[in-house]
Amino acid sequence: AQSVTQPDIHITVSEGASLELRCNYSYGATPYLFWYVQSPGQGLQLLLKYFSGDTLVQGIKGFEAEFKRSQSSFNLRKPSVHWSDAAEYFCAVGGSSASKIIFGSGTRLSIRP
């Protein structure tokens, strides 16, 4: 069955500190993996995606994620967070065309001044 686990419900980091948000997935075939960000009252914005090639992918706003097939993980990282990064982050998994996209429960990121 297709599923996504985000073990951290809420994370607080200091501005300027590094960040890692965890994501583990279960998928029967080659996964397409995504990280989305959601600000209050807004829809979801794609940060980055992985579906083949280099396992370290770069996204917008200085985020990157690393796909580790052996660990079924796709963790999101940022070397130095900004106050504007405070939001809800969702990891998602899907497949090739016409497949559904399943989301994790999200991690809320707070930034300490």
Partner 1 sequence: EAGVAQSPRYKIIEKRQSVAFWCNPISGHATLYWYQQILGQGPKLLIQFQNNGVVDDSQLPKDRFSAERLKGVDSTLKIQPAKLEDSAVYLCASRNDRAGPEAFFGQGTRLTVV
CB of 7 to partner 1, least distance (A): 13
CB of 44 to partner 1, least distance (A): 4
**Between 36 and 75, how does the x/- string for binding to partner 1 read (CB under 8 A)?**
x----xxxxxx--x-x------------------------
| CB crowding 27-43: b at 16 or more within 10 Å, else e | beeebbbbbbbeeeeee
Asked if 97 interacts with partner 1 (CB under 8 A), we say yes
Of residues 34 and 81, the one with the C-beta less far from partner 1:
34
Which residue spans within the chain are E strands per DSSP? 3-5, 10-14, 19-21, 24-26, 32-38, 44-50, 56-58, 64-68, 73-78, 87-94, 102-103, 107-112
Binding-site ranges for partner 1 (CB under 8 A): 4, 6, 32, 34, 36, 41-46, 49, 51, 90, 94-98, 100-106
